[in-house]
Amino acid sequence: MSDDFVLDVTKIRDEARRKMEAGPVTDTYGLDKDRVIGILNDVIATEVVCWLRYTRHAISASGIDRAQVSSEFTEHAKEEMQHALRAAERVSQLGADPDFDPASLAQRAHTDYTTPPDNDLKAMLEHNLLAERIVIASYQEIIRWLGEHDPTTRRLMESILEEEEEHADDLVDLIGV
């Protein structure tokens, strides 16, 4: 096995000086930055819609198991908002403005905003589990697409994915399937 790794630090320094306005995005960035920003803005929309859905369900839930289910929904809602903020921060790092436009959130989101009857906790749990499964599958695809081309965004998405899988597991436990 040969060791053919060569690092031209002088060239890297010169390039960094010439393009300082690009911030953290260097010539070694491996993807179409605008495409990544668009995908992240869709992630923001998805997470905001999930936050809205969980928040509504937490507030409107009623019935004998309301306290436990509402508490879980509230916890998930907080984490979904954090996911949106983390994705927004990455959009900003990539040199763009995060898209929180309420007029287009629902169209850009991977999941739906649902309003089952207040007394139907099972339907709320199932709607949220379905949404988590959609998010898990779509985020896995995003992670595969990012590959080694944008390790920072990939790690962000992997971290969010890990929490989404925990949400799905929590919901399965509450449903009792």
The CB density around residue 173, as the number of other CB atoms within 10 Å, is: 11
Residue with tokens 């019935």: 63
Asked if 63 and 121 touch (Cβ cutoff 8 Å), the reply is: yes
Q: Using alpha carbons, select from 112, 25, 125, 140 the residue that is nearest to residue 73.
A: 125
Annotated binding site for Fe cation: 47, 83, 132, 164, 167
In 3-state terms, what secondary structure has residue 109? coil
Annotated binding site: 47, 83, 132, 164, 167
Residue with tokens 């971290």: 159
The CB density around residue 56, as the number of other CB atoms within 10 Å, is: 18
The CB density around residue 21, as the number of other CB atoms within 10 Å, is: 7
Interacting residues of 96 by C-beta distance below 8 A, sequence separation 6+: 34, 37
Asked if 154 and 30 touch (Cβ cutoff 8 Å), the reply is: no
